[in-house]
Chain A
Amino acid sequence: MTPDMKVTIAGVELANPLMTASGCCGYGEELANLYPLSKLGALVTKSITLKPRLGHPVPRTAETASGMLNAIGLANVGIDDFIREKIPFLAKQKTVVIVNVAGSAIDEYVEVSARLNDQPAVDMIELNISCPNVNEGGMEFGANSRLTEQSVAAVRKVFSRPIIAKLSPNVTSIADIADAAAQGGADAFSVINSLVGTSVDVDSWRPRLTNNKGGLTGPAIKPVALAMVNAVYERSRLPIVGIGGIATWSDAVEFMLCGATAMQVGTALFIDPFTPVKIVNEMKTYLKKKKISAARDLVGKVRKY
């Protein structure tokens, strides 16, 4: 029997637990040239802000040991062009569409989310209250329980479908922030966004990013992400979307065992854009071998000492 790969996040059923992460798959068009997006459990768009943004000057990425730094700076087309030019394409894709929303003030999150509420093609939103790459806000919200609760609550009033709060690892207690987001009305969490980091060229003494610092992602951050997923899992009953360094089927299984119901693949798409599709197939083989009938049966089953 082929294992059941379906999972449910806040009442929305996904064909499988693998999504592409925000900022690592644009608005889906490029990946759709490689494989049908129906092979994904869901697609998460680049962060959308009220106004278009070009982001930071280049260089805005740098390679690191088993990972990379980025300070793209939320470059995106803005909500108007997103609705006009990207939504029609996304509406045609046979996958769950999650739009990531970012802003520099609560009003901005609210306005963007309200506009998205009128777009039936948008199945859920993911609130990026955790971007390390904008000075005006982003991570500020996600590092502060009161602001987290306020921003989620404000968006809750204008968006009627599920809201995923994307949590920052750059905090003292991610479980406390998760509590605040739940209090504000979040339906699920995605854990984690990138870790603040930097890298310096020893010839020029210049940081390798014009933003001086950026977000660390890729396999290097997987152990941190797993521990944080588990911390949130032990605190809250809301479903978790695990993110951070996932590149293989066993990475995905580890995340499920630590408490993730679904997973996002980010940086690994840059190495192999087919990664989520391969993971789904290889996870099926693993589940068969282990005689487990449904992927969701793995969630939270880590056998702790």
Chain B
Amino acid sequence: MIKPACEDAYLIQSKDLRNSYYSLTFGSFSKAGQCRPGHFVHVQLPCSDVFLRRPMSVASVSRGKKEIEIILKVLGRGTRMMSDLKKGDRINILGPLGVPFRLPRRSQTVIMVAGGVGFPPLLYLATEMVAKGHDPVLIEFFYGGRSAGDIVEKPRIKKLGLKFHPVTEDGSLGSLGLVTQAVEEYITSRKGTVKPVMYGCGPEGMLKATDELGRKYGVGGQLSLEAPMPCGIGICLGCVVNLRQGGHARVCCDGPVFDIGEVIL
């Protein structure tokens, strides 16, 4: 278990990715080099209006420079305040926290199922895999949103050389429908020829459908879950999910990454 740091960091860069999405880079953070894909950091804002920390998946790290990037969508008070931060503004970071993704074997076909604001940890996972020598053409990156504007950072994803499959509910970009429908078509069309592993992160309904696909077609893999997290380190019991084997798990420290089939979604 990594011992998380709890320290101040400063906003180094803020990029408006449009449609309420922002990329924020903070530094210097002494544990940036230990943030793996799937880890999150718990961010405290320097204002009394937002009392609790906000969990944010790590989207990338620049190890040499000790910086971490998070990508957020403005959905509430906390994320709005974060999007308003200016270069040089101070925040406090507790992290890295949680259990990261298990990297797949290098020869494996990998299906990534990203939905809306759930894409940053998968972007980091894909980036890390390619950097470690995973053949990018083995990565099928499915990325769903309501419409074209919800699919952000397209050039960055495509640049990895992976197979990019945008899916929108209104058909304004890529195939029409739900991202999990496109994933199911892919799985059924390749059945028997490849044995893929699946990674998912996104809204509740998408995770549930991905989990069902995994169990229906016998495709293993992992899902990264979201939950309100008062503490992020396992001491408040506010973030629990029900396990299929019975009992609870804490999303913040037993997860946020769980195996397909492990959690009742």
Contact = CB atoms under 8 A, between A and B. Distances in A.
A65 B233 contact: no
A274 B94 CA distance: 11
Contact of B51 (A24, A33, A68, A72): A68
Tell me if B's interface is mostly helix, strand, loop or mixed. loop
Contacts of B4: 34
Interface string A22-33: 011110001101
B240 interface: yes
A267 to B, nearest CB: 8
A59 B235 contact: no
Interface centre among B48, B52, B53, B92 (most CB of A within 10 A): B52
A270 B239 contact: no
A218 B53 CA distance: 14
Contacts of A67: 51
B51 A65 contact: yes
A23 B53 CA distance: 18
A251 B46 CA distance: 19
B133 interface: no
User: By CB atoms of chain B within 10 A, which of A33, A62, A65 has the most?
Assistant: A33
Nearest to B238: A61
Contacts of A273: 6, 94, 231, 233, 235
From DSSP, what is the main secondary structure of chain A's interface residues? loop
A145 B1 CA distance: 47
Nearest to B246: A54
A273 B7 CA distance: 12
Contacts of B232: 270
B238 A72 contact: yes
B161 to A, nearest CB: 39
B86 to A, nearest CB: 23
A66 B236 contact: no
Contacts of B240: 54-55, 58, 75
Given A58-B241, A65-B51, A271-B51, 10 more contacts: A24-B235, A30-B233, A34-B4, A34-B233, A55-B237, A59-B228, A70-B230, A72-B236, A271-B44, A272-B92
Interface of B: 1, 3-4, 6, 44, 48, 50-53, 92, 94, 227-228, 230-241, 247-248, 253
